[in-house]
Structure 1
Amino acid sequence: MTTALLYLLGVLVFVVAILVSIGLHELGHMIPAKRFGGKVTQYFIGFGPTVWSKQVGETEYGVKAIPLGGYVKIVGMLPPGAAQLADETTVDADGNTVTRVRKSNTGMFTQLISDARAAEWELVRPEDSDRLFYKMASWKKIVVMAGGPTVNILIAFFLFWIVFGTYGTRTIEPEAGAPVVDTVSQCVIPYSDEGRECAADDPASPASDAGLRPGDTITSFNGTAVTGWDQLRELIRDNADGEAVIGYERDGRELTGTTSTTVETRPTSETDETLRQVGFLGVTPTVELVVTRGGPLYTLEQMGVMAKDTVQALVTLPVKVYEVGQAIVGVEERAADSPVSIVGGGRIAGEVSSAEQIPGGDKVAFLLSLIAGFNFFIGVFNFVPLLPLDGGHIASATWEWIRRGAARLRGRPDPGYVDAAKLLPVAYVVASALLVMGVVLIVGDLVAPVATPF
């Protein structure tokens, strides 16, 4: 019963934290938009049917049924087309003058753009003329659109700062000094088969041939004094299949063993999984827990590394999602490093919270890091310069700023506003792709979840 309650608590904490993050993201757009004089008619968390809403001034605040995002409606995001200036002005049922901008088109994308403009301008009233988003200064548009993802990155920063400043980053590393042997492989098992028991036809490991045992301290390798595990590992790998004379200490006695290392296909390092042919001995060192704590600068440094990893993950995201699709249909196992949706994040939060073998402090640090990681990814992802993401609007406003600035410097007429509506076909394609990927990840998290050791 307690385990189930802890699982539910973990899921609830994660989901509420993500919903709060969504709300703050949208505030990051709404607050500067209003400060710059823009008109915001809607502020909603979620999509789909409205669960609750309240009108406050000119803005409707509310919650919708599907908690997978949110939005703010800023009036006048799209400028009118050049051929749409013959406006149809009508009066609605409340006696308000409404400007309708419509155009008949034959091309599919042209019609989509025209319809989008029409839907946008049906919300515009004559008194809104000076409050339209597209008329804002370019730098104000950038601030408004960058506000949302910047909030997510700031949330991530403060949460990571809490974790790094109190709990710290924890790594298992070889003990300092000459490496002490923790385990000795009795045979050579290919890297792709690691984890299985030795078979009768597996060759004996070089370490076993040399007579090494757990507890031995390796002091030299082919005449080179050994001072640490990283140095020894490089000596072994560079030795390929050559002879190896190993000096080691056992119970205060200096001993020597002679063997030949074996060439094996192994990862380049613990942080680089690129496989290459290297020498193999068959020992692992004793390890220790290393805790590193730091403040804001340390947090920024760590987030810089995360940013690099996140960009790399974004590049491979379509491939990773495709692999999740294969896991759904049973073609292959779900990879441990595959992306997850909010559903998968909630499940992981629940499993960690209910795992009896994890201390309470570790659980709190993990949940904070998980929430921070989601926020950081959302923030970086939204800066991708493609519509309908925030980065697409930022790119459009930046180009407008550059183009107008260049025209001023060259003494040429103002080229006018950049028409983001022309990029709507790209937005529809990107939105469709994001929808498909989102559905695949949610289904994958339900039927083929990422395996956890808890």
Structure 2
Amino acid sequence: MEGLIMTAQLLLGLSILVGVHEFGHLIAAKAFGMRVEKYSIGFPPKIWGFQYGETEYSFGAIPLGGFVKISGMIDESLDTETLSQEPEEWEFRAKPAWQRLIVMMGGIIVNVVTGIIIFIFLVYSNGNSYLPKEELNKHGIVANMLGQEIGLQNGDVILKVNDKEYERFSDLRSMDVLFADEPSYKVQRGDSVFDLKFPDGFLNKLTDKKYKDQFIDFRFTYKVGQVVAGSPAAKGGLLEGDKIITINNESTTFFDQLSNILHENNDKDVVATVQRADNTSETLTFHVNPDGTIGFHPVPLIKLQHDDYTFGEAIPIGTTQAFNVVWANIKGLGKIFSGDVAVSKSLSGPIRIAQMFGGKWDWNKFWNMTGLLSMVLAFMNFLPIPALDGGHVVFLTYEIVSGQKPSDRFLENAQKVGMVILLSLMVFAFYNDIVQTLF
């Protein structure tokens, strides 16, 4: 069932984004009097469609893209039969270069606008909950495997990031930090303060699926939440609202301490000192599960800050969030070309994108992912690759600047090269998804 929900969310999200992208081309073309022959969400074979005016609107069976067919334009269809004839006034090739440029930018512009609108409404409807720096630094961070690898320890207090002040815990793991040329933390450990620089190759590890959630977390005290019926915690007498003070006489003030001790004693009996809600103490015995748990949900004793925004306040915040996606992609692409991040670790195809949506239908997460993908789609389409909008933009910009139009034969061959590049990337993305998912 989770797989079906992932797939359904991916297909719905892609259909929305492809639909608005191609609609951007369509309305721009029609605004300049160009004839649009076809508008399709999905690639052939066609599964349903209808004719309205001069345009056939349809859905294709392959839901990984879409297209508009504009008369007199050399596109992915490679339909060049009419190019030997004199152009008609309603053809793409008969229009001024600046109009053709706007048509090619139409899809990108609409995707950007869509992404911005989605992020604005998410900010307006949800506000923003976060762990502020002041609350985080009461107990410091939890250094997981990758955090320990670069020299962090549990309880470290991070004072600055890249020698700059920060506001919230999420800033410690933001793309602005991790994609910096020389990322670093200013760390306080006890009475000492020092700069800790990330080693070369760290970002490559951080993007590896094997190390997901293995960097840093915030440290927190806790109390017992829901106790799972029939679990070792329930059998041992643990109650909701309890606080576990020690396990085998070792302090468990913080949840990471408890988790580590339980993992060290998996499939063994442990003795716990528990403080009840009425401040009395009890000594309880639990048999730890083989996975290092005893069967309760912790309630973190932390103070999150929540900010609500008016619609006017949400506009600049949502817009900034949308363009941060583009900026992160630009930085990420730079890291790929510099060799700091492997292509296989950073390139996601449909399978891994579906996994990002998740196996539960959460509308907030769905729209957040759709907004993110809208900005990514705009960025990717702007890349100067023939067969993408960005390739057309390059040729049209050359025509506007030089006053010379590339020949139809050149454009046709460029389109073929672009299609080979895109198909190769698609095959690699699918293969990489399968390898990363299975291994």
TM score, norm. by length of structure 1 = 0.58
Partner of 1:159: 118
3-state SS in 2 of match to 1:181? coil
Alpha-carbon separation, structure 2, partners of 1:434 and 1:35: 29
Q: TM-score, length-normalised on structure 2?
A: 0.59
Code of the aligned partner of 1:138:
A
Mind listing any 5+ residue stretches in structure 1 that lack a counterpart?
A: 80-114, 196-204, 208-213, 219-227, 238-243, 247-259, 275-281, 325-334, 354-362, 405-414
Q: What is the letter of the counterpart of residue 381 of structure 1?
A: M
What is the CA-CA distance between 1:157 and the residue it aligns to?
Answer: 0.9
Distance 1:348 1:263, change over 3 A: closer
Aligned counterparts of 2:128 and 2:54: Cα–Cα separation in 1: 47
Q: How does 1:254-293 map to 2 (within 5 A)?
A: 266=198, 288-292=303-307, 293=309
- Once the two structures are TM-superposed, the CA of residue 314 in structure 1 deviates from its matched residue by 3.6
SS at match of 2:386: coil
Tell me the equivalent position of 1:312.
Answer: 331
Following the alignment from structure 2 to structure 1, what is the Cα–Cα distance between the partners of residues 373 and 423?
18
Query: What is the aligned partner in structure 1 of residue 429 from structure 2?
Result: 441
The alignment status of 1:378 with 2:335, answered yes or no, reads no
CA distance in 2: counterparts of 1:155 and 1:189, whole angstroms: 36
Identity of aligned residues (%): 24
What is the rounded CA distance, in whole Å, between the counterparts of 1:320 and 1:49 in structure 2?
A: 41
The verdict on how the C-alpha distance between 1:445 and 1:383 changes in structure 2, with shifts beyond 3 A counting, is: same
Root-mean-square deviation over aligned CA pairs: 4.6
Shift of 1:323: 4.8
Quote the Cα distance in structure 1 between the aligned partners of 2:397 and 2:146: 56
Match of 1:234 in 2: 186
CA contact under 8 A between 1:267 and 1:273: conserved in structure 2? no
1:7 to 1:75, Cα distance in 2 relative to 1, 3 A:
same
In 1: Cα distance, 2:217 partner to 2:61 partner: 56
Q: Does 1:76 align with 2:33?
A: no
Q: Is 2:96 aligned against 1:137?
A: yes
Q: Secondary structure at the match of 2:34?
A: coil
Structure 1 position 47, deviation (Å): 1.6
Please name the residue that 1:120 is paired with: 80
Question: Once the 2 structures are TM-superposed, how far is the Cα of residue 151 of structure 1 from its aligned partner?
Answer: 1.3
Cα displacement (A) at 1:344: 2.5
In the other structure, the counterpart of 1:146 is: 105
Aligned to 2:348: 340
1:189 and 1:304 mapped to 2: Cα distance? 29
Whole-Å separation in 1 of the counterparts to 2:205 and 2:341: 20
Contact 1:76 1:121 in 2 (8 A): no
Asked if the contact 1:321–1:441 (Cα under 8 Å) also holds between the matched residues in 2, the reply is no
Q: Does 1:295 pair with 2:291? A: no
Q: Name the SS of the counterpart of 2:372 in structure 1.
A: helix
Q: Which residue of the other structure, out of 191, 210, 216, is the alignment partner of 2:148? A: 191
- Equivalent-residue separation in structure 2 for 1:175 and 1:57 (angstroms): 62
Alignment partners' CA distance in 1, 2:13 and 2:146: 45
The letter of the residue matching 2:133 is P
The structural deviation recorded for 1:54 is: 2.8
Deviation at 1:236, TM superposition (A): 4.1
Q: How many residues align?
A: 319
**Deviation (angstroms), 1:390:** 0.7
Check conservation: 2:186, 2:196, Cα contact below 8 A: no
Secondary structure in structure 1 of the residue aligned to 2:401: helix
